[in-house]
Amino acid sequence: MKKVVLVYSGGMDSSVLLYDLIHQGYQVSTFSIFYGQKHQKELAVAKKFASLLSLQHKLADISNLSDIFGNTSLVANHCEIPDGHYEEESMKETVVPNRNMIFLSLATAWAISIGSNKIAYAAHSGDHAIYPDCRNEFADAMNEAIQLCDWNSVSLVRPFVGLSKAEIVRKGVELEVPLEQTWSCYKGLDVHCGQCGTCIERREAFYLAGVEDKTKYSSSAPSLKFLVANNWRV
Amino acid sequence: MKKVVLVYSGGMDSSVLLYDLIHQGYQVSTFSIFYGQKHQKELAVAKKFASLLSLQHKLADISNLSDIFGNTSLVANHCEIPDGHYEEESMKETVVPNRNMIFLSLATAWAISIGSNKIAYAAHSGDHAIYPDCRNEFADAMNEAIQLCDWNSVSLVRPFVGLSKAEIVRKGVELEVPLEQTWSCYKGLDVHCGQCGTCIERREAFYLAGVEDKTKYSSSAPSLKFLVANNWRV
């Protein structure tokens, strides 16, 4: 059976990719990382999906290393998660230095150990705006390095690289993914805040896909009507 | 001042590189990793050298992840460190899956956080025989990926890539590195065992360099004369 290790955050994109890979006949093992992110709620979601689908799941805890990441607001307690659209300057505070390389390097080690020759992650076409390590060129170089890191052939695949987040929502509907159960919000409260960068991106994706968003948002979140009227600026 | 983060094991190669970088006028920050290796003694050596030279030093502890590395004998308690020359088949047990990519990805994150735009490691020309992630092509791909992982330019340097281990010993002598205080042995006992792969490689390097080896080896280690007569097979 074709085997793949999926870097799995419990978010919408990687959850849809998970269902897509299973649909394609892969035996998927899911790999999640706790790096000290305030929204560790996503990890519980990841575990829940893996358990629901009876998949081998591994959580790598590198939260003790959070000081090597400096002052990113996703991790550092003294930095607040900014509200607003991903395109805004303030969102750069959410960049975690070299996060993707660290995730991929650990996932690759595990893939080699369990005899899986593919590593997948859910990079998509809207990803690279503020994150340097979401660029195609970065992923291409990582794929090169991953292919050379073992004597056996291992490779990195990004099946969603040509899709927008709205297209991922549509694919999720086709594959009957319970999208409302996936977790995006950086704040990691009881429900999605509805106004941080990743919540705005999520809401916009449902809107652009023409799909009803059943996610539960905080009662203080701006309304969809307000967001549309304000071009997704909060 | 030119800044560099050195991936620093406390071994001979990276210790010589440390002195070499300082000699070249770099402000060096040293980065060591505890990945569950039995020879964690090397980490105490790394810390001692960093302290001696008044350098910023960081130890990243990922030993809780040792299960993602599978059955490598460097980590797994039920696997014994094999004796013998690196070229022997049994040495493959000492391969830690994707170790270099993990080390470099973490060191790069720290380098970005502390505003250093160079990451150095002591890969040398004799390194690649059994370790896939010591190949030049691997390091070239990693350099590509590292250059793209941040908006600022960060790069990977391997100043010793053209040197043999014997040449590193000679350089160490020139730079007055206390070579006998560096740590290589995979077994991590009180003194170097003198017969595991990395001890044999160390002893051979001193011999080929024509430099007296002041390292203290176990009394049960094979003699230099025996090793030379047996072509470095134990």
Determine, yes or no, domain membership for B234. no
Task: Give the pLDDT band (50/70/90) at residue B89.
Answer: low
Q: Do B68 and A62 touch (CB under 8 A)?
A: no
Structure tokens at A176: 């009957």
Average pLDDT, chain B: 90
Shortest Cα distance, chain B CAs vs residue A64, angstroms: 8
pLDDT at residue number A75: 63
pLDDT at site B152 = 87
How does residue B188 score in pLDDT terms, banded at 50, 70 and 90?
confident
pTM here? 0.89
Q: Which residues share a beta bridge with B122?
A: none
Helical axes B99-113 vs B136-148, angle rounded to 10°: 30
B175 contacts B34 by C-beta, under 8 angstroms:
no
Compute the average pLDDT of residues A106-130: 89
Residue A43 pLDDT: 95
* Confidence band of B170 (pLDDT split at 50, 70, 90): very high
> Which tops the pLDDT comparison, B131 or B136?
B136
Check residue B151 and give its pLDDT: 87
| Mean per-residue pLDDT, B66-87 | 70
Cβ atoms of A135 and A161 within 8 Å: the answer is no
- Spatial distance between the Cα atoms of A220 and B166, rounded to a whole number of angstroms: 67
Mutate to test the interface with A, among B101, B102, B128, B150 (most CBs of A within 10 A): B101
What local confidence, expressed as pLDDT, does residue B77 receive? 65
Instruction: Name the range with the highest mean pLDDT among A82-91, B20-29, B95-104.
Output: B20-29
Asked, for residue B85, whether it belongs to a domain, the answer is yes
Residues in chain A: 234
Residue B78 has pLDDT above 70, yes or no: no
Residue A131 or B56, more confident: B56
Residue B111 buriedness (CB in 10 A; 0-12 / 13-18 / 19+): buried
Q: What is the pLDDT of residue A152?
A: 87
Q: DSSP readout, A56-74?
A: EEEEEE-GGGGGGG-S-TT
Crossing angle of the two packed helices A165-174 and A197-209, in degrees rounded to 10: 60
pLDDT average, residue stretch B101-106: 96
Mean pLDDT score of chain A: 90
* Position B213 in a domain: yes
Half-sphere exposure of A49 (CA within 13 A, CB side): 31
**Model confidence at B225: pLDDT above 90:** yes
Q: Write the residue in B62, B70, B101 that is nearest to A108 by C-beta.
A: B101
CA distances from B214 to B13, B180, B203, B209 (A): 16, 5, 10, 13
A112 vs A106: CA distance, rounded Å: 10
Which pLDDT score, from 0 to 100, does residue A54 have? 98
- The pLDDT tens digits for A7-44 are 999 999 999 999 999 999 999 999 999 988 888 899 99
What local confidence, expressed as pLDDT, does residue B112 receive? 94
Transcribe B22-69 into DSSP letters. HHTT-EEEEEEEESS-S-THHHHHHHHHHHHTT-EEEEEE-GGGGGGG
What is the number of alpha carbons within 13 Å of residue B91 lying toward its C-beta?
22
Amino acid B90: pLDDT: 60
DSSP structure class, residue B85: -
* Partner residue facing A101 (CB), from B105, B114, B151: B105
For the stretch B208-224, pLDDT in tens is 999 999 999 999 999 99
Of chain B, the end-to-end C-alpha distance in Å amounts to 47
Report the domain count for chain A. Answer: 1
pLDDT of residue A73: 63
Dump the DSSP string for A97-129: TTHHHHHHHHHHHHHHHTT--EEE----TTTTT
pLDDT at B143 over 90: yes
Please give the structure tokens belonging to residue B217.
């080896």
Tens-place pLDDT, residues A123-179: 988 776 678 888 889 999 999 999 999 988 899 999 999 999 999 999 999 999 999
Instruction: Show the domain range for B11.
Output: 3-229
**Is the CB of A97 less than 8 angstroms away from the CB of B112?**
yes
Specify if A234 maps to a domain. no
Residues of A within 8 A of B89 (CB-CB) are: none
Query: At A211, is the secondary structure helix, strand, or coil?
Result: coil
Task: Establish if B36 belongs to a structural domain.
Answer: yes
What value of ipTM does the predicted structure carry? 0.87
Position B66 scores a pLDDT of 82
Say yes or no for a CB contact (<8 Å) between B132 and A151.
Answer: yes
Per the CB < 8 Å rule, is B97 touching A113? Answer: yes
> CB of B111 within 8 A of CB of B118?
yes
Calpha distance A104→A109 (Å, rounded):
9
User: Tokens 């960081």 map to which residue?
Assistant: B58
The residue among B96 and B157 whose pLDDT is bigger is B157
Give the Cα separation of A193 and A116 in Å (integer): 37
pLDDT tens for each residue of B106-128: 999 999 999 999 999 999 887 76
Which residues of chain B are within 8 Å of residue A133 when distances are taken between CB atoms? 148-150
Residue in B89, B117, B148, B151 to test binding to A, most A beta-carbons within 10 Å: B148
Residue A153's CB is within 10 A of a number of other CB atoms, namely 10
Lowest mean pLDDT among A165-174, A224-233, B93-102: B93-102
Least confident among A77-91, A165-179, B55-69, B184-198 = A77-91
Q: Are A122 and A13 in contact (CB under 8 A)?
A: yes
Please answer whether residues A43 and A79 qualify as being in contact, where contact means their C-beta atoms are separated by less than 8 angstroms: no
CATH of the domain at A82: 3.40.50.620
Average pLDDT of A181-210? Answer: 94
**B174: in domain:** yes
Asked if the model's pLDDT at residue A196 lies above 70, the reply is yes
pLDDT bracket for residue B88 (50, 70, 90): low
Residues of B with CB under 8 A from a CB of A: 58, 60-62, 64-65, 68-71, 96-102, 104-106, 108-110, 112-114, 132-133, 135, 137-138, 141-142, 144-151
Burial-class residue A231 by CB neighbours within 10 Å (0-12, 13-18, 19+). Answer: exposed
State yes or no: pLDDT of A114 exceeds 90: yes
The confidence score (pLDDT) of residue B93 equals 63
As given in the structure block, the two tokens for residue B10 are: 């406390």
| DSSP type of residue B201 | H
Task: State residue B125's pLDDT score.
Answer: 83
Residue B171 lies in a domain: yes
Q: Tell me: pLDDT of A86 over 80.
A: no
